[in-house]
Amino acid sequence: MRQITHEQLLTLAHYDPETGIFTRLADGYVMGKPDRKGYLLTWLKDWRFRSHRLAWFYMTGTWPTQEIDHINGNTSDNRWINLRECSHQQNNHNQPIRRNNKSGVKGVHLNRRGKWQVQVCLNYKIHHGGAYERLEDAERVARDLRERLHGEFANHG
């Protein structure tokens, strides 16, 4: 697993929970470089960490047992109020609308009959919300269905 203790971390770096920024104590260097997905990576000694997981460890003294979700969806925003531990499935619920979405509404697509179809996934099962003439009606139903199925992890956009 990890080769750094909480005590070592506290002697090597400072985490500001208000800004989400790590600085190296030795010289004040601001740590964290984005990877290709936008997650900040931090190096301490010879170890590389995702900064959001390191922030969790810094603040709680324990490594997260699950995933760390960025509540606002910004993977480089590691402020403490923007981080929460969650399951992989919950983390997936908090994803934004996909780039290839053509309706502009998460969970809504145009079906073969020319109606706006609502579908929301939970536990690898598709929950159907019906088909609607108006996109606005489908959007309302999709939002309600997401909130019911995904709870606090529902992301509408």
Select from 3.40.1710.10, 3.30.730.10, 3.40.50.450, 3.40.1350.10 the CATH code of 97-153: 3.30.730.10
Q: What is the fold of 6-86?
A: Homing Intron 3 (I-Ppo) Encoded Endonuclease; Chain A (3.90.75)
pLDDT band at 2 (very low <50, low <70, confident <90, very high): low
The model carries a pTM of 0.83
Domain boundaries, the chain: 6-86, 97-153
pLDDT value at 21 more than 80 = yes
Per-residue model confidence as pLDDT tens digits over 64-112: 999 999 999 999 999 999 999 999 999 999 988 988 999 999 999 999 9
The answer to whether domain 6-86 and domain 97-153 are alike in fold is no
Q: What is the rounded CA–CA span in Å between residue 153 and residue 146?
A: 9
